[in-house]
Each structure stands twice: as structure tokens, then as C-alpha cells.
Amino acid sequence: MRKLIAGNWKMNGLASSLAEIEALKGTTGTAACDIVVCPPFTLIEKASVRSNGSNIAIGAQDCHAHISGAYTGDVSAEMVADVGARFVIIGHSERRVLHLETDTTVASKVTTAHKAGLTAIICVGETRSERDEGRAVEIIDGQLRGSIPAGASSSNIAIAYEPVWAIGTGLIPTLEQIEEIHASIRRMLEERLGEDGREVRILYGGSVKASNAADILRVANVNGALVGGASLKAADFAEIILAAS
């Protein structure tokens, strides 16, 4: 399966940061994986123009559950698609925790993203205490059941497994732990989507960097990575992309 490497800039990036996309274009043109950069909303249009004609797709980091309406300050899937986004991250743990997004919210957002023609990267992951209690598989199974809406398929979703305790901490699960969770996500996807569940890309996210990417990307059922901090600089992100190629 062709791997997908997605960069999540989070609330970082000004117009000057678009130089990173230019630099990335220069080094990853022959990469044998799919590449997505998710800058903040304010840069999506400019990033789309800059990446035009390259193998870099642009994504958003969130969208509203409704396509339009009286939701002051929010941004819809249709709006980000209109300015060139093709992907959207939905249900990142920072949204689930800081914006109280539930699985039901996530599923509604994914449906709206699909209506706008976007591919949704749906994030799931356990907290440290849930892992310590031996409940990681159960938690992720529940999140997936609640977060994947009707109409989902391998052509319009990817799943990102991001242990909450591994995000931005420099900590990562062991390769065995990653393999266990990805295998259980695969089983659940097959149960839910039948044969097509085998084709859905399952990304690992949480402290991925150039020094650990190759090992993580070799684990069974790891079909890509969702990268935060190490996606901000083209040089670091390019190394991860090349590890996937």
C-alpha cells in the first residue's frame, strides 16, 4: 500500500512559513509516498497555490460539522475545499480534549468533509492512564466505532493512531505496542467495511521524527505517519518522507 505522510502544523505558521513548502517541493519530488501538509486555516489558500503542480496535497486541521450557517468564527469543509484543501484532520486529541469533541461530533464532521469531497484523517488514541489500565485496545475500538460514519471507505478516510501521551512528548510506544494497536484497528475496519477495510491507510502519530520514522514505518499495518513538530521544517519532514519512500 502506498504510504501517506501528513504534516500537522497545528497553530504554527505565518506567510513566511510557506518557504518550507517551497523547500519541500525541491527535495521530495520523486518520493514514492503521498504527502499532505496541513497548515493553519489562514495559510491553506496560499499553500495550495504554492504546492500546485507538485506531489504535495494540502489539508485542514479541522472543519465544522455543518456545511454553512450561523456559526460565528467557524470554518466549513466546503470553505477549505474551495481554497484548495483535499484532506482534513478530524478528531485530533487536542480538539477532543480542548474543544470537547465527542465521537459523535467527529463522525458528523467526517460526513460533512465527505460532502465537500475531502478525505478525512480520523484521529484516535488512548491516554497514559487508559494504557496503564490495559484499556488501550478497548478505548480505540470505541472511538473508531463512534467516529467512522456511514459512507466511509478507503478512498475517503485514513485513520491516525496517536497515543495522547506520545504527542509532543518525545515518548513513543514500543514497536510491538504500535503493531498490536494497528492490527486491532485493521480488524475493526474489516469488520466495519469488509474487504475495503484492508485498503484504509492507518497512520501512526506521536513524536515521529527522522530518527524513528523508518522503524515505525516498517511495522505491519503502519501505512504512514501523522507528524506534528517534525513537519514544521522542510528538512526534518523531508527525511521522514524519504524514510517512507
Contact residues: ligand PGA, CB under 6 A: 8, 162, 167-168, 205-208, 226-230
- Kindly report the length of the chain: 245
Least distance (Å) between residue 170 CB and ligand PGA: 8
Position of minimal CB gap to ligand PGA: 228
Catalytic residue among 101, 126, 162, 239: 162
| Shorter beta-carbon distance to ligand PGA: residue 78 or 201 | 201
In DSSP terms, 202 is beta-bridged to 159
Measure Cα distances from 16 to 48, 168, 232 in Å: 15, 23, 12
Least Cβ distance, residue 71 to ligand PGA (angstroms): 25
Closer residue to ligand PGA in complex, CB, 97/220? 97
**202 close to 154: Cβ distance less than 8 angstroms:** no
Is 239 tagged catalytic?
A: no
Q: Is 182 a catalytic residue?
A: no
Contact 25, 57 (CB under 8 A): no
In the complex with ligand PGA, which residue's Cβ is closer, 33 or 213? 213
Task: Report the nearest approach of ligand PGA to the CB of residue 232 (Å).
Answer: 9
Q: Toward ligand PGA, which CB reaches closer, 6 or 81?
A: 6
CB of 225 to ligand PGA, least distance (A): 8
Catalytic residue among 64, 92, 114, 182: 92
Residues catalogued as catalytic: 92, 162
